[in-house]
Amino acid sequence: MPVDMEKIVSLCKRRGFVFPSSEIYGGLGSCWDYGPMGVELKRNIRDMWWKAMVQERSDVVGIESSIMMHPRVWQASGHVGGFADPLVECKSCHLRWRVEDLDKEGTMSEDGNSRRCPSCGGELTPPRMFNLMFKTFMGALEEEASVVYLRPETAQGMFVNFDNIITTSRKKLPLGIAQIGRSFRNEITPGNFIFRTREFEQMEMEFFVKPGTDEQWFDYWTKERFSWYLKLGIKEKNLRLHPHSKDELAHYAKSCDDIEYLFPIGWSELEGIANRGNYDLIQHNAASRRNLSYYDAESGERYIPYVIEPSAGVDRTLLAVLIDAYHEEVVENRERVVLRLNPSLSPVKVAVLPLSKNEKLTPMAREVYEGLCADFMTCYDDAQSIGRRYRRQDEIGTPLCVTIDFASLEDHQVTIRDRDSLAQIRLPIDRLKEALEAKLKGEAFESSSLWAAGRR
């Protein structure tokens, strides 16, 4: 059974992962702020995505496009006319619901009236379309001519830069353009903590291919993306693939597979991989009057490429990672909460803990801390008992704790404690970096040569 969402929300608040936005003013619906632990975890997720999708590939390049784009981008892409969710409103309590969500729970007729409001049981209005894009005005005048939108996806930044990238990168197709950035959707039913919010971050890649090779690339990227979540350390039993049926497909998509995670709210989308065909480039080609076709020098053909798009959410991935890593267990008759995070994702890699606040231990512990922090995200903590400090590090998923005790003053050795096995080894300070590096590479603590050398 997945952990309760309340436990995750509470851990996130308690340990500085995620706070309600503008909390001192009562919070702002479905907006969240990432605290010191949250930003590190988020950065590690982004880095792992960028490494797998850009750094380690010669066929993908990165960009960062602006959040506000020319309004004609959104007309051409179909978002102005069609980026809408049908919603129904309760005539009694006026809460709004997405037809899609009510549909998931059972059947819902076209008029929306075969079901009652899930909150108060009241009668529902017929479904109405609700555009999900946030509108604002550019410049001093609030008039129709100065309307701009906050982007609801990063993808269009890649399509409108396709020509720039092809002419400047000296790359041939197949070629991917990747981007990580904020997107905004005026969701009708945001909620479930950071699962669905109105401001969120996406990690998207548009992979441009020759028509006819698209299906093969679609299968390739579906497998590739699924295995990325396994590399993050998410358990395979909590992941599944959901291929879209014809009536679930977005208007632009030829096919789409969702990677779903077993969230406490049930199986839900983590990432969508879509075969967008040549829809977007055709639309922009026509609307901008810029030739967005590609000349294939090898075959001598000119064509509008097809696009495979893996589109993931940073926030949803972070939530899945936290849920998957969360464990409650009893150790020596005491309960502990531990985040068994992949060490590459852990916000803090190593905690330096002097046994007590002491005029002799403190300078030595500070020296150890300063020797590590250039290479690892390191934290120094000398407040409260050592047991409580271990618990605090367990709850944020710190893989290793280094303790400096009175014997350290004599023998220049420190004790390293492993988060998962609770095994401890004692090592000379000058071998500390080596031990930490091995652990962060995923070496099992007990099997490393350092462990054999330093076993207590």
Question: 162 or 252, CB closer to ligand ATP?
Answer: 252
Q: In the bound complex, what is the minimum distance in angstroms from residue 87's beta carbon to ligand ATP? A: 13
Q: In the bound complex, what is the minimum distance in angstroms from residue 135's beta carbon to ligand ATP? A: 17
Q: In the bound complex, what is the minimum distance in angstroms from residue 13's beta carbon to ligand ATP? A: 19
Two tokens at 236? 């395979």
Question: 261 or 445, CB closer to ligand ATP?
Answer: 261
Q: In the bound complex, what is the minimum distance in angstroms from residue 390's beta carbon to ligand ATP? A: 34
Neighbours of 114 (CB within 10 A): 12
Question: 185 or 419, CB closer to ligand ATP?
Answer: 185
Q: In the bound complex, what is the minimum distance in angstroms from residue 295's beta carbon to ligand ATP? A: 31
Q: In the bound complex, what is the minimum distance in angstroms from residue 196's beta carbon to ligand ATP? A: 4
400-404 and 424-428 strand pairing = unpaired
Q: In the bound complex, what is the minimum distance in angstroms from residue 300's beta carbon to ligand ATP? A: 36
Question: 193 or 390, CB closer to ligand ATP?
Answer: 193
Which residue of the chain is nearest ligand ATP when measured via CB?
313
Question: 205 or 364, CB closer to ligand ATP?
Answer: 205
CA–CA separation, 320 and 428 (whole Å):
38
Neighbours of 9 (CB within 10 A): 17
CA–CA separation, 66 and 233 (whole Å):
32
Two tokens at 401? 């704790």
Q: In the bound complex, what is the minimum distance in angstroms from residue 172's beta carbon to ligand ATP? A: 28
Question: 48 or 440, CB closer to ligand ATP?
Answer: 48
Q: Is the peptide bond before 174 cis (omega within 30 degrees of 0)?
A: yes
- Residues near ligand ATP, by CB under 6 A: 185, 187, 196-197, 200, 202, 269-272, 311-313, 315-316
Question: 104 or 135, CB closer to ligand ATP?
Answer: 104
Question: 312 or 355, CB closer to ligand ATP?
Answer: 312
Question: 229 or 294, CB closer to ligand ATP?
Answer: 229
400-404 and 350-354 strand pairing = parallel
Q: In the bound complex, what is the minimum distance in angstroms from residue 263's beta carbon to ligand ATP? A: 11
Of the candidates 40, 23, 42, the one whose C-alpha atom is nearest the C-alpha of residue 32 is 23
